[in-house]
Amino acid sequence: MKIGNIEINSRSAALAPMAGVADRAFRELCVRYGATYVVSEMVSSKGLTMCDRKSKKLLYLSDEERPAAAQIFGSDPKIMAESAVSCLAYKPDVIDINMGCPAPKIAGNGGGSALMKNPQLAEEIMRAVKEAVDIPVTVKFRLGWDADSINCIEFAQRAQRAGMDAITLHGRTRQQMYAPPVDRKMIAEVKRNIDIPLIANGDIVDGITAAQMIEETGCDYLMVGRGALGRPWVFSQITAYLEHEVVLPEPPVSERMRVMVEHIKKICEYKGERIGIREARKHAAWYIKGIHGAAAYRQQVGMLESIEQLEELAFNIVRENM
């Protein structure tokens, strides 16, 4: 599959741009497990144009995680275009526009999924960004704002008209957030009504659900978000099934704990141990999900203060689950 002039191996999946999760450490880890495309955490267009240091840190893309997109959000066409140009300093392969985030602090300010209530403004933003940069531009959105305003087909057609090189569609409305199951029939309807590539997102957690999404929607590519939390190996599972119809099992507890420690050490390397350990707590909770005794371990995770404590916890979990 191609996004503009960027060729992507579609026999795996992309890592979704999850705020506070899909940072450099996690993106690099997922690429090692087979993710064939990643997207940065979303960056505020206003923050970027005001030279906000945090926004700039979020845009750093290493050589180990490419092809990669920089994702921006906002509701002003001019500022969005300016921020897209600012992103070019970090050499992204693609600029992605967030029009799907359901978080109240984003949608409440007119960004993210709130733009689905104003398709004309959304199209103006997409066109402004496309005209401002000389690399591919994509957009990520949902089925609509709520069940009474499903407008994803119109939205996708506007995206195509505005020059988007691909779209990513999360198969739920903003009102639905992350439940119930995604509507694959609507994703298929959107695919039938556009000519640009469609990346399907939602409820992809292994090779079988990946294959089902492709079969039922005809999508060109897949994007995995929550299915990768504490499970970066999900990309290996997807590749094995799509290429060979092989179902790879979940790794043993010892391997899960090894990856967890490696992941969190990398976060600390990139952000410093004080920040890294604080962020590590949520990742560790995801890695231990489903392990025997997870409830008790989660209490210990919430009190982590150092790498040494993390390593001790991982050792104890492996020993108690042998």
Catalytic residue annotation = 101
Number of H helices, E strands in the chain: 14, 11
Q: Could you tell me the CA-to-CA distances from 261 to 183, 195, 306 in Å, in that order?
A: 36, 43, 11
Name the 3-class secondary structure at 97. strand
**Three-state DSSP state, 174:** coil
Nearest to 187 by CA among 143, 150, 154: 143
Burial of 219 (0-12, 13-18, 19+ CB in 10 A): buried
Q: What distance in Å separates the CA atoms of residue 321 and residue 313, rounded to the nearest whole number?
A: 12
Q: Give the residues across from 199 on adjacent strands.
A: 168, 221
Q: Both tokens of residue 310? A: 């993390």
